[in-house]
């Protein structure tokens, strides 16, 4: 058995109503003045009262910065850092989807590392630990609250870039499904499929192991049984709870076993065509899995079973392929476009997309089946419909 590391947030607080604990949690870190980092839509929903009231009860002062934009570019960080420095907080609280959480992670380390944020691109490039931060996801979701990763759009070359460092893991994360009740159906579908991709990719990844396999399978089970309900009956708290827990478990698995070719092929779609992260992943998932399935038939059969498929009378090969059909069906049922043409890609773009994706070695080397530049182009062609 090879040596492996397992890391996650320092403290995880889960369950409906758990957000009420945020004041006590901030107090444990001796916070006196916090900055809440979020976006303007979340501020308008009124969700922040769930955070500001417990902070006030603990006599902790706060300021809200609501300038996060979706799929944030590096410039979004630069917009906020000056305001943050002049406010001099001793803790940050990130509230929102992956965009707000990733911004919060980076702002924390930018306060203690005075250099160009682009120097941090890659793995382990951040020198000093940042100030303490708590993450509160309001989508289910990216799992960013338990990963050491943050993803930004580089507008210089329109490519999404990753920063990976243990300093991007929060002091605590609070996962409360009630905060996701207001997520619109379309965002529920895209973010929920992103979580499912995290679980399936990390379960079948090269770096997958005993510590993550059970966690990933449980995530697949929870998400598969509840995503349709969460999309079409958004007020259903049971479905939202399954999704919140599924997203968290998928994030823990992704944070340790990593993801693979679905994410690698999705990043150029996000950078160049502004396709939301979850939509890009979900669209590509069945095509990449069709390619990957042969690499580990037993694991793909387990994915089918976790998704609730009846594979009893099927051969191993057919049972594994049942997982690919079930993933495509779920994506279609929740309204995700099924082809690249539907998201504005032209046939003449496919070569450039393949060129960009083939550079993302960090993810491609973790994919269970090796891909050449040609294989990547063929998958894009399949997803385009040629």
Residue numbers at the binding site for Fe ion (CB under 5 A): 194
Q: In Å, how far from its chain's centre is CA 330?
A: 18
CB atoms within 10 A of CB 35: 23
| Interacting residues with ligand NAD between 266 and 305 (CB under 6 A) | 277-278
The whole-angstrom separation of Cα 251 and Cα 256 is: 9
DSSP 369: S
Shortest Å, Cβ 143 to Fe ion: 8
Note whether 70 binds ligand NAD by CB under 6 A.
Answer: yes
Closer Cβ to ligand NAD, 190 or 311, answer by number:
190
| Closest distance to Fe ion from the beta carbon of 291 (Å) | 19
Q: Which of 135, 150, 284, 363 binds ligand NAD (CB under 6 A)?
A: 150
- The strand pair at 149-154 and 159-164 is best described as antiparallel
Rule CB under 6 A: is residue 92 a binding residue for ligand NAD? no
149 binds, among Fe ion, ligand NAD, none (CB under 5 to 8 A by kind): ligand NAD
182 contacts ligand NAD (rule: CB under 6 A) = yes
Residue 327 CB contacts under 8 Å (≥ 6 apart), including other chains: 196, 200, 285, 286, 289, 303, 307
What is d(CA 151, CA 191) in angstroms, rounded to the nearest whole number? 15
Q: At what angle do helices 237-257 and 185-204 cross, to 10 degrees?
A: 40
Decide: 201 and 251 in contact? Cβ < 8 Å: no
Count CA within 13 A, CB hemisphere, residue 235.
0
Nearer to ligand NAD, 240 or 299 (CB): 240
Question: Cα–Cα distances in Å, from 279 out to 11, 68, 274, 282, 383?
Answer: 30, 20, 10, 5, 13
Q: Is 38 helix (H, G, I), strand (E, B) or coil?
A: coil
**Tokens found for residue 247:** 């997203």
Task: Tell me: does residue 247 bind ligand NAD (CB under 6 A).
Answer: no
Q: Out of 37, 80, 106, 187, point to the residue binding ligand NAD (CB under 6 A).
A: 187
For ligand NAD, the binding residue among 19, 126, 151, 248 (CB under 6 A) is: 151
Structure tokens at 272: 């160049």
Q: Which stretch binds ligand NAD (CB under 6 A): 112-120, 175-183, 204-212, 365-373?
A: 175-183
Token pair, residue 98, equals 């992956």
Binding segment toward ligand NAD, per CB under 6 A, in 42-50, 77-85, 343-351, 366-374? 42-50
Minimum CB–partner distance for residue 217 and Fe ion (Å): 18
Check residue 96 for interaction with ligand NAD (CB under 6 A): yes
Residues 6 or more apart whose Cβ sits within 8 Å of residue 359: none
Binds ligand NAD (CB under 6 A): choice among 54, 132, 141, 246: 141
Q: Compute the least distance from the CB of residue 195 to Fe ion, in Å.
A: 8
Task: Give the shortest CB-33-to-ligand NAD separation in angstroms.
Answer: 25
- Using rule CB under 6 A, residue 202 touches ligand NAD: no
User: Which residues contribute to the site for ligand NAD (CB under 6 A)?
Assistant: 39, 41-42, 45, 47, 70-71, 96-100, 102, 138-139, 141-144, 147, 149-151, 160, 179-180, 182-183, 187, 191, 194, 277-278
């Amino acid at each position: 058995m090879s040596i492996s590391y397992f890391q996650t947030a320092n403290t995880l607080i889960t369950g409906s109503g758990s957000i009420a604990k945020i004041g006590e949690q901030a107090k444990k870190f001796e916070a006196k003045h916090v900055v809440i980092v979020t976006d303007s839509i979340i501020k308008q929903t009124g969700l922040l009262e769930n955070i500001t009231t417990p902070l006030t009860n603990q006599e902790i002062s706060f300021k809200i910065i609501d300038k996060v934009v979706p799929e944030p570019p590096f410039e979004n960080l630069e917009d906020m850092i000056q305001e943050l420095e002049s406010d001099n907080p001793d803790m940050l609280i990130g509230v929102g989807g992956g965009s707000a959480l990733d911004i919060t992670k980076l702002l924390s380390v930018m306060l203690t590392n005075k250099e160009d944020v682009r120097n941090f691109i890659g793995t382990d490039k951040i020198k000093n630990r940042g100030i303490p931060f708590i993450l509160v996801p309001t989508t289910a979701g990216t799992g960013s609250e338990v990963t050491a990763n943050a993803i930004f759009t580089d507008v210089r070359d329109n490519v999404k870039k990753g920063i990976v460092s243990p300093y991007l893991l929060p002091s605590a994360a609070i996962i409360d499904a009630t905060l996701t009740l207001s997520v619109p159906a379309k965002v529920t579908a895209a973010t929920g499929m992103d979580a499912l991709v995290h679980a399936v990719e990390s379960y079948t990844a090269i770096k997958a192991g005993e510590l993550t396999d059970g966690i990933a399978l449980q995530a697949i089970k929870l998400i598969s049984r509840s995503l349709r309900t969460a999309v079409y009956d958004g007020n259903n708290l049971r479905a939202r709870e399954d999704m919140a827990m599924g997203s968290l478990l998928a994030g823990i698995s992704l944070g340790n076993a990593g993801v693979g070719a679905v994410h690698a092929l999705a990043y150029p779609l996000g950078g160049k065509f502004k396709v939301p992260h979850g939509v890009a992943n979900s669209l590509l998932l069945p095509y990449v899995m069709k390619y990957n399935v042969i690499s580990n038939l037993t694991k793909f059969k387990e994915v089918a079973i976790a998704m609730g498929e009846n594979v009893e009378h099927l051969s191993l090969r057919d049972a594994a392929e049942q997982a690919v059909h079930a993933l495509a069906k779920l994506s279609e049922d929740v309204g995700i476009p099924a082809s690249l043409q539907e998201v504005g890609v032209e046939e003449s773009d496919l070569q450039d997309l393949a060129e960009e994706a083939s550079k993302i070695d960090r993810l491609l080397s973790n994919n269970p089946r090796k891909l050449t530049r040609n294989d990547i182009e063929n998958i894009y062609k399949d997803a385009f419909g040629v």
